[in-house]
Structure 1
């Protein structure tokens, strides 16, 4: 990961290789990038995110609430809508034995939470597209 900001003597600066034009960020700015509080705040916020990313504090989720995922139920792809996610332990009434992972909860066509899966199952048993689910189902049929 290439940082766009850097720390020097306790201050945050942006990478000098990039040209920073104040007009790209502010309408009708007359101050210039050197004394612009908006650009300064943007750089500070970006530096905070870059620090968090370097320390492994940012998780990039492969899907979000409202997305459709596909599971091969009973020999054909079935769609489910992601309703929530959490980290930690999944109550056994939904799905047993999921601990210390990001867990996605999904609902069926009637709107009931019908299951959950850990993020580690994406691409193995749960898929982000119908085509990926069909491809995996075909692969499993060929292995029999």
Structure 2
């Protein structure tokens, strides 16, 4: 009853992935703001959620594709 009500009121947030200590994500970054862009693998943090699809990706393949597009 409470879950359905909360869902109907738009109070639930659907996350794009599991949020546990085993969920890996891939972040595009530039070491010290200079040099080549790199892809770093790390375990997801809440601060990654707002960056998913921009600089944080759920698979390495998608991160590589985004990096190739950035370099073009």
TM over 0.5: yes
User: Could you tell me how far apart the structure 1 residues matched to 2:64 and 2:55 are?
Assistant: 11
Q: RMSD over aligned Cα, in angstroms? A: 1.6
Using the TM superposition, give the Cα deviation of residue 78 of structure 1 relative to its aligned residue in structure 2, in angstroms: 1.1
Q: Following TM superposition, where does structure 1 have runs of at least 4 consecutive aligned residues deviating by more than 4 angstroms?
A: none
Higher relative contact order (CA 8 A, sep 6+): 2
* TM-score w.r.t. length of structure 1: 0.40
Q: Which has the higher helix share?
A: 2
Max Rg structure: 1
Using the TM superposition, give the Cα deviation of residue 127 of structure 1 relative to its aligned residue in structure 2, in angstroms: 0.6
Contact 1:76–1:134 (8 Å) recurs in 2: no
Count of aligned positions: 64
User: Could you tell me how far apart the structure 1 residues matched to 2:3 and 2:50 are?
Assistant: 25
Gaps of 5+ in 1: 1-46, 85-103, 105-115
* TM-score w.r.t. length of structure 2: 0.74
Q: Which has the higher strand share?
A: 1
User: Could you tell me how far apart the structure 2 residues matched to 1:62 and 1:140 are?
Assistant: 23
